[in-house]
Structure 1
């Protein structure tokens, strides 16, 4: 991953929080004949040392990961096109071009399959709890018939990845002047879809909060 210094994110707590906010990861694996990519929801531990997941036994990943190998998982956050028209500097000198702002985290490490029924049951319960906890009436596996859940568990396999490298890249106009960053925030606030608004919120949350470089809240 190309990582200019001003876009690099190294704070482990920040990276773990990102994975929990965006748990659907793109698992990239080198198979026997080609490279595969599968979207799978993951759990990450508090220290950012391991990822846990599960997938269908019918997935060719079962064969690809049978002997264990190093894999890459890509987690993506909000993203949006950035028009040159957002920049006040466009009116000053015109030396601006379009770009794209986004946030992503990559995890690389050794993957191994987990076949133990207890491990898989715990994985399912933990992932479900993480996603259901904030709901008015949280669902849990215990709400479904036991024989139904047992059949579902037999159809999946667990996956654990020991993270060797965890790195993030937030491309959020840090290379622009404060005036231009404010212009980007204002431009994103005018967009009609929710993702640009989420991107603006991330920009406000991760850029300086004090001093002359602190962005002003828009809207």
Structure 2
């Protein structure tokens, strides 16, 4: 990922917060047939390996797991993003020498990938993933709520993935390259936007 120094995020807590907040990631492998990408809910387990492990699962019918990857896989986790209009910059009024851009947070996690079909491992994986996303609900659903024979049948239709983390790249592009007046204009513009997603980014703009 191209990351100018001003936008580089190397804070581990910040990187993990982005990974955990992303409810859906893109799982990417390079193959002899070209790149393959699958949107997947993935989760990070920091208790395994030197830098943690990414877990998830694919449909068994998905050919991505059957085609040998070339090199490491990449999991792409996106954080908040917003279009930035030049109209918000003080520099626009001063010189007019401004262009639109996009602010965003992204984390790319690299590592070798292992696919597995073991039923016990798959049950543990889907249970952990389900508990993660159901945990905030008032009446959370659990894998054990479904009939065991139904769950086993569903497990036969998926393949687990385990990716030990070798490298994490973080990018937080939040107008850090603009002057203080331009940043203030961006923050104010986002805060007054009709889009909830824009308003959520306003506090992330450095003062």
Q: Please give the TM-score of this superposition, normalised by the length of structure 2.
A: 0.92
Q: Decide which of 31, 39, 58 is 2:61's aligned counterpart.
A: 58
Give a deviation string over 1:153-175, Cα, whole Å, max 9, x none: 11111100011110100100011
Please say if 1:12 is aligned against 2:12: yes
Corresponding residue for residue 148 of structure 1: 150
SS of 2:76's partner is strand
C-alpha contact (below 8 Å) 1:74/1:105 kept by paired residues:
yes
Unaligned runs of 5+ in 1: 208-214
Q: In structure 2, what is the Cα distance between the partners aligned to 1:68 and 1:126?
A: 29
Counterpart CA distance in 2 for 1:178 and 1:21 is 29
Aligned pairs (5 A) from 1:17-32: 17-32=17-32
Q: Aligned residues, how many?
A: 204
Deviation per CA, 1:120-168: give whole Å up to 9, x if none. Answer: 1111111111111111101110111111111111111110001111010
Aligned residues of 2:32 and 2:70 also touching (Cα < 8 A) = no
Q: CA RMSD in A?
A: 1.7
Inter-partner Cα distance in structure 2 for 1:97 and 1:69: 37
Query: Cα deviations across residues 38-58 of structure 1 (Å, max 9, x unaligned)?
Result: 101111023652100011100
Tell me which residue corresponds to 1:212: none
Native 8 Å contact 2:19 2:44 kept in 1: yes
In structure 2, runs of 5+ residues without a counterpart are none
Describe the shift of the 1:143–1:68 C-alpha distance in structure 2 as closer, same or farther (beyond 3 A): farther
1:102 positional shift = 0.7
CA distance in 2, matches of 1:73, 1:62: 14
Give how far 1:98 is off.
1.0
Q: 1:69: how far off?
A: 4.6
Secondary structure of 1:9's partner? coil
CA distance in 2, matches of 1:4, 1:110: 26
Whether 1:159 and 2:161 are equivalent positions in the alignment is yes
Report deviation, 1:33.
Answer: 1.7
Distance 2:174 2:188 in 1: 14
Question: Matched residues in 1 for 2:34 and 2:70: separation?
Answer: 16
Q: 1:34 is matched with which residue?
A: 34
Instruction: Give 1:174's aligned residue.
Output: 176
Alpha-carbon distance in structure 1 between the residues aligned to 2:106 and 2:168: 11
